[in-house]
Amino acid sequence: MLTELFGLNWGWMALGVALAIAEILAPGYFLIWLAAAALVTGLVAATMPVGIETQVILFALLCALALAAGRRWVLRHPVTSADPLLNDRGGQIVGQSAVVTHVIEGGMGRVRHGDTEWLVRGPDAQPGTRMRIAGHDGTVLIVEHLN
């Protein structure tokens, strides 16, 4: 049988390498911990005479430990973005000005900023009035009069 010729430890090693490659192709800090568990299981299988049942149990335990340790590490070392507002278009334009396009009355209206019209909340204003964007609530901008 193939496992007698090469040993079962090579199967664990191959699984570990395959999981590490999958982590590189689809990064997410998850598969790398399973890859580490498979590689350690392969090392144990290569150095100690343990049966397949013991190897599977060892792999399951190592996966649980590695995932717990990995989760703890990721929580202690969060990935910070170079541009935290990259996907927050409303947040990117806070502090800039916009022109009222539809009357703001009763606290609701529309403004134009750049090439986009936005729904807004803010004080009453007539079309053509320049307003400062003070914040946003989802896709609704919060505006105030320029000082």
Query: pLDDT for 130-143, tens place per residue?
Result: 999 999 998 999 99
Sign of CA dihedral 75, 76, 79, 80: positive
Confidence category of residue 5, pLDDT binned at 50, 70, 90: very low
In this predicted structure, what is the pLDDT of residue 3?
A: 46
> What would the pLDDT profile of 77-102 be if each residue is shown by its tens digit?
888 888 888 888 888 999 999 999 99
Domain ranges in the chain with CATH number 2.40.50.140: 89-145
Residue linked to tokens 């005479």: 49
**DSSP letters spanning 112-135:** EETTEEEEEESS-B-TT-EEEEEE
pTM of the model: 0.54
Per-residue pLDDT averaged across 97-120, rounded? 95
CATH of domain 89-145: 2.40.50.140
How do residues 8-63 score in pLDDT, each as one tens digit?
778 899 999 999 999 999 877 789 999 999 999 999 988 888 888 999 999 999 99
